[in-house]
Amino acid sequence: MDTLQKRGLNSNQIKMIAILAMTIDHVTWLLFPGCQKIWWVMLLHMIGRLTAPIMWFFIAEGFHYTRNVKKYIARLFIFAVISHFAYNFAGGIPFIPNGFFNMTSVMWSLAWSVVLMVIFTTERLPQWEKILMIILICFITFPSDWSTVAAMCPVFLYLNRGNFKKQAVTMLIWTAVYAAVYFIFLDKAYGLLQMCTLLSLPILKQYNGERGNWKGMKWFFYIYYPAHLFVIGIIRVLIGSGSIFP
């Protein structure tokens, strides 16, 4: 039984794949801003699509395994605030939102996603309050990277935990929603590119339910996200792609 459990990939290994894919994607955005229709640039962005669904998946796993959901939520919101300034600095986006798309990092949606998991699973709230709170959180998370999708998808990944086929369908549906919005209203090529998040499914299917030997990955994963964005922001300024303060 132990041999079977060790097969596949543990969470540390999958998170490292997400970190590498994210770094490749963000460096590509830095060096080739905009959605440039060059095949190898698009290929690099395809690799980057692995990151978001892995983050969604492990936010759901984190909710399942956490011993203190209040501390888990608080930790996510702290990193969401830090990541807001890192994300906007990296992209040359004003710190105070002035639009409806990509005004803050995906961490904002992920933090609210755990709040949604509590709402979905609690029996203390009447149904009308749940619906009202869900609508409100969808509105609050809409301006972030991956928008409301990054708040809602992890919830359904959690609710379907233990059934990977249903989790895969969940990923397909929410990714398609996000891709459709981009395809119709913003950029058709980039909209189609979002469907490459589904390339993460073969990786996630290999998840063996184990953490891995290194206990520090949890904090490394949290810290690396804003840290590498701050570095990208500094490089952006140094190469003359914008001011220090957006």
Where are the chain's structural domains? Answer: 2-238
| Contacts for 236-245: CB closer than 8 Å, 24+ residues apart | 236/30, 236/90, 236/92, 241/30, 241/33, 241/92, 242/92, 243/92, 245/95
Residue pair 203/17 in contact (Cβ under 8 Å)? The answer is: yes
- Is the pLDDT at 222 greater than 80? The verdict is yes
Count CB neighbours of 53 within 10 A: 27
Confidence band for 188, pLDDT divided at 50, 70 and 90: confident
Q: With bands split at pLDDT 50, 70 and 90, how would you rate the model's confidence at 7?
A: confident
Beta pairing partners, 9: 207
pLDDT digits (tens, 9 = 90+) for 123-134: 989 999 999 999
Of residues 98 and 44, which shows the higher confidence score?
44
Dist. CA 130–CA 93, nearest whole Å: 33
User: How large is the C-alpha radius of gyration of the chain?
Assistant: 18
Average pLDDT over residues 39-49: 94
Q: How far apart are CA 4 and CA 124, in angstroms?
A: 40
Dump pLDDT digits (tens) for 73-100: 999 999 999 999 999 999 989 888 887 7
Crossing angle of helices 51-65/11-31, nearest 10°?
140
> What is the pTM for the complete model shown?
0.92
Residue type, 1: M
Q: Which of the two residues, 215 and 199, has the higher pLDDT score?
A: 199
Residue 212 has pLDDT above 70, yes or no: yes
- Tokens representing 206 are 């290999």
